[in-house]
Each structure stands twice: as structure tokens, then as C-alpha cells.
């Protein structure tokens, strides 16, 4: 079967996680990483995804391994509860391949991309009762829009774009919004389309992505048995910064010198990657999406 998403940094993921007996893939997607991990000898995988279409594709893709994989529609935020259902209080490996998949980007009806018209949706979970990108764009105040474009898109022209949106709303489709953004910022000769950052910001806001990563990493570290590994692939600096800070804090040990009353702290993990692993030229050539991927891996002490 053709898989509509090419898994990034597959080899380093296999190198670091192939010996796991129990592994959680918190972002199953089409199941590409999980397929390769099961093929490499991982005992059993619990695969989670919020996207019901991804779940269906993964079920089909992974049917050969049906006895060694448990596929669950749900968020990685709740991985501890889903692991407990399997009777797992500890696991050997956890993988988070954050963000959006190629199949989500390539399906205009999901509203993640703006090259073809689609509804302004952007929810990972199509069944969730949560605000869509259209709800945000059409109802939030200028200050609220400016804030998310700046914080989640690092967009220089946040205020200008927010103002133009308020003046021209309502918006129904991705392309209507992208065209307005293109008209409201100064022209750039090269680089990304001017709507790229705003679309990233809206997706992060719709799915509350950064808060979910912050909440999940401590739980994931907690769930690992000694020697177990957590691997996180991020695709932009906002995500990578959170991963880096949480890993640094958990790997730092504070020992009070005699006579000083410093609050002591034990490290719970060690960093296996001081600098993130990135895709090599060959991978970038074959899969341009891998260009911005950064992989950080830690091991439980
Ligand atoms: C980059 S793709 C994963 C691709 C997968 N590793 C593969 O090789 O096919 C990211 C996936 O994470 C899912 N996702 C995003 N946020 C999630 C969350 N909080 N819980 C579970 N899945 C989530 C998305 O729906 C998407 O399918």
C-alpha cells in the first residue's frame, strides 16, 4: 500500500528505540514509524492519534502486525491513562512526531493549507467540540488575533494582519484568508508565502499544541522505566524550545555543597542528544518536509 506520509528521521528513531518491548507512539499518523519499529523487533506498540482519518489509514497499514499493535483514537496528553488500560505502568520507549502530517496538509477539506480552497477548520480531531480556525478568525478581537499571530507565528506584521482581518471578515475558506494576508503585508521576493506564519499560528491555537506538549513531556518521562527512551521530533522553534527546556530541567542535578542550604534536585533523565539530530542532505532531497525536523532523545535514569 502507498503511504501518504513519509516518516522523517526514521533511521535514528530505529537506532534508539528498536529494542523496546513496550512503546507508545503518541502521534501515530499513517503509522510509518510504528511499522518500521515493529518490523525492527519492538514488542508491542500503543499508537495514539486525534485524527480519525489517520487512525483508519494506520489500521490498514499496520494490519500485518495486528497482534502487536493497539490503535487508539485519543490525545498523547492522556497517554498515561491509555497505557494503564493495557496494564502498562511503565514503558521502554515513547515517540512524539509533532505537528501536522502530509496527508492532513494535502487534504484541502481539513483546512491546514492554503494552496487549494478548503474550509478554515484545522482541528486535528474532526469530532471534537472545539473552536475551528474560522471561529477564531471570525470572532476573536484584534488584540487576541495579534497576540496569537505574534506568539505562535512569530509574525512581524501581526497587528497589521489582525486589523485587515477584522475589516474584511467573515472568512470561509483558506484561500480567501491567504489572499487577504498577501495583500496586507509588504511584498517579499523570496521565501515562504506571507500566510505561512499566520496559518501555523492558527493551527497551534486551534489545537492548543504548545500547552499539550508542555503537559505531556513530564508525564512521558514519568512513564519510562529506567533505561527507557523518549524521542521527540519537532518542526519549528517554538516546539523545539519547549522540548529543550523541559529536557534540560529534568536532566539537571542540583547538589548542595556542605554548609549551603540549596534545594537539592535529582536528575531523572540523561540527554542522548546534546544537539538535536537533523535530516541529512539525502533525506531532505527525498522528503523536503524533513528540512525543519529536529529530533531530541533522552534516557530515563
Ligand atoms: C507528523 S504526523 C505523524 C506521522 C507518523 N509518525 C508517521 O510516521 O506516519 C503527526 C500526527 O500527530 C497527530 N497529533 C497531533 N496532536 C496530537 C495529540 N495531541 N495527540 C495525538 N495525536 C496528535 C496528528 O493528527 C498527526 O497525525
CA-CA distance, 150 to 155, in Å (whole number)? 5
Query: Residue 160 domain-assigned?
Result: yes
- Burial class of residue 162, CB neighbours in 10 A (0-12, 13-18, 19+): buried
CA-CA distance, 65 to 41, in Å (whole number)? 11
Q: Judge if 112 and 186 occupy the same domain.
A: yes
Residue 46: predicted pLDDT: 98
Q: Which residue out of 27, 36, 81, 83 has the highest number of ligand 1 atoms within 8 Å of its CB and is therefore the one to mutate?
A: 27
DSSP code per residue over 137-156: HHHS-HHHHHHHHHHHH--T
Query: Which CA distances in Å does 52 have to 129, 152, 191?
Result: 14, 25, 33
Query: Residue 4 domain-assigned?
Result: no
Residue 256: predicted pLDDT: 85
Q: Which atom of ligand 1 is nearest to the CA of 10?
A: 8
Query: Residue 183 domain-assigned?
Result: yes
Q: Judge if 80 and 223 occupy the same domain.
A: yes
Residue 255: predicted pLDDT: 87
Query: Residue 29 domain-assigned?
Result: yes
Whether the Cβ atoms of residue 285 and residue 271 lie closer than 8 Å to each other:
no
Whether the Cβ atoms of residue 28 and residue 50 lie closer than 8 Å to each other:
no
Nearest CA to ligand 1 atom 1: 101
Residues β-bridged to residue 119: 173
Reduce the DSSP state of residue 21 to 3 states and report it: coil
Whether the Cβ atoms of residue 101 and residue 30 lie closer than 8 Å to each other:
yes
CA-CA distance, 278 to 21, in Å (whole number)? 26
Query: Residue 279 domain-assigned?
Result: yes
CA of 25 to the centre of ligand 1 (A): 9
Q: Judge if 23 and 85 occupy the same domain.
A: yes
CATH assignment at residue 191? 1.10.150.170
Q: Judge if 147 and 193 occupy the same domain.
A: yes
Is residue 30 in contact with ligand 1, taking CB distance under 6 Å? yes
Residue 189: predicted pLDDT: 65
Q: Judge if 96 and 224 occupy the same domain.
A: yes
Nearest CA to ligand 1 atom 15: 99
Is residue 7 in contact with ligand 1, taking CB distance under 6 Å? yes
Q: Judge if 141 and 276 occupy the same domain.
A: no
Query: 82-123: per-residue pLDDT in tens?
Result: 999 999 999 999 999 999 999 999 999 999 999 999 999 999
Query: Residue 169 domain-assigned?
Result: yes
CA-CA distance, 91 to 286, in Å (whole number)? 33
| Domain assignment of residue 176, given as a range | 108-207
In the sheet that 22-25 helps form, which strands lie side by side, from edge to edge? Answer: 69-73, 44-49, 22-25, 91-97, 224-234, 294-300, 269-271
Q: Judge if 126 and 65 occupy the same domain.
A: no
Query: 42-75: per-residue pLDDT in tens?
Result: 999 999 999 999 999 999 999 999 999 999 999 9
Q: Judge if 199 and 68 occupy the same domain.
A: no
Domain termination residue (choose one: 189, 207, 225): 207
Q: Which atom of ligand 1 is nearest to the CA of 7?
A: 8
Is residue 27 in contact with ligand 1, taking CB distance under 6 Å? yes
Q: Judge if 133 and 276 occupy the same domain.
A: no
Is residue 239 in contact with ligand 1, taking CB distance under 6 Å? no
Query: Residue 1 domain-assigned?
Result: no
Q: Is the pTM higher than 0.85?
A: yes
Residues with Cβ within 8 Å of residue 220, at least 6 apart in sequence: 24, 26, 76, 79, 94, 96, 230
Q: Judge if 94 and 220 occupy the same domain.
A: yes
Is residue 97 in contact with ligand 1, taking CB distance under 6 Å? yes
Is residue 155 in contact with ligand 1, taking CB distance under 6 Å? no
Domain termination residue (choose one: 168, 185, 207): 207
Phi, psi of 294 (to 5 degrees): -130, 130
CA-CA distance, 147 to 144, in Å (whole number)? 5
Q: Judge if 96 and 225 occupy the same domain.
A: yes
CATH assignment at residue 39? 3.40.50.150
Q: Judge if 94 and 214 occupy the same domain.
A: yes
Scored b (16 or more CB within 10 A) or e, 215-243 reads: ebbebbbebbeeebbbbbbbbbebbbebb
Q: Could you tell me the mean pLDDT of each successive run of 10 residues in the chain, 301 residues long?
A: 81 98 98 98 98 97 97 98 98 97 95 95 95 98 98 96 97 97 83 91 98 98 98 97 98 88 90 97 95 97 98
Nearest CA to ligand 1 atom 3: 29
Query: Residue 5 domain-assigned?
Result: no
CA-CA distance, 33 to 174, in Å (whole number)? 30
Domain count, the chain: 2
Query: Which CA distances in Å does 24 have to 38, 217, 241, 279?
Result: 12, 13, 23, 23
Is residue 57 in contact with ligand 1, taking CB distance under 6 Å? no
CA-CA distance, 258 to 162, in Å (whole number)? 56
Cis peptide before 170 (omega within 30 of 0): yes
E strands, the chain, in order: 22-25, 44-49, 69-73, 91-97, 224-234, 269-271, 294-300
Domain termination residue (choose one: 207, 224, 252): 207
Amino acid at each position: 500500500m502507498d503511504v501518504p506520509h513519509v516518516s522523517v528521521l526514521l533511521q535514528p528513531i530505529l537506532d534508539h528505540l528498536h529494542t523496546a518491548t513496550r512503546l507508545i507512539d503518541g502521534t501515530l499518523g499513517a503509522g510509518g514509524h510504528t511499522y518500521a519499529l515493529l518490523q525492527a523487533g519492538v514488542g508491542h506498540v500503543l499508537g495514539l492519534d486525534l485524527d480519525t482519518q489517520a487512525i483508519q489509514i494506520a489500521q490498514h497499514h499496520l494490519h500485518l502486525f495486528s497482534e502487536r499493535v493497539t490503535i487508539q483514537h485519543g490525545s498523547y496528553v492522556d497517554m498515561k491513562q491509555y497505557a494503564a488500560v493495557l496494564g502498562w505502568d511503565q514503558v521502554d520507549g515513547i515517540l512524539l512526531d509533532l505537528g501536522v502530517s502530509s496527508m492532513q496538509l494535502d487534504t484541502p477539506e481539513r483546512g491546514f493549507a492554503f494552496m487549494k480552497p478548503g474550509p478554515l477548520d484545522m482541528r486535528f480531531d474532526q469530532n471534537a467540540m472545539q473552536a475551528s480556525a474560522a471561529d477564531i478568525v471570525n470572532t476573536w478581537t484584534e488584540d487576541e488575533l495579534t497576540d496569537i499571530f505574534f506568539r505562535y507565528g512569530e509574525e512581524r506584521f501581526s497587528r497589521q494582519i489582525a486589523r485587515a482581518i477584522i475589516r474584511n471578515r467573515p472568512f470561509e475558506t483558506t484561500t480567501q484568508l491567504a489572499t487577504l494576508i498577501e495583500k496586507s503585508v509588504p511584498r517579499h521576493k523570496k521565501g515562504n508565502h506571507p500566510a505561512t506564519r499566520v496559518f501555523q499560528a492558527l493551527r497551534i491555537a486551534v489545537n492548543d499544541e504548545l500547552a499539550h506538549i508542555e503537559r505531556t513531556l513530564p508525564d512521558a518521562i514519568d512513564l519510562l522505566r529506567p533505561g527507557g527512551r523518549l524521542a521527540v521530533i519537532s518542526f519549528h522553534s517554538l516546539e523545539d524550545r519547549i522540548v529543550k527546556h523541559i529536557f534540560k530541567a529534568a536532566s539537571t542535578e542540583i547538589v548542595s555543597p556542605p554548609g549551603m542550604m540549596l534545594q537539592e534536585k535529582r536528575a531523572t533523565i540523561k540527554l542522548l542528544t546534546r544537539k538535536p539530530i537533523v535530516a541529512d542532505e539525502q533525506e531532505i532531497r527525498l522528503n523536503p518536509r524533513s528540512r525543519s525536523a529536529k529530533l531530541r532523545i533522552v534516557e530515563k535514569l
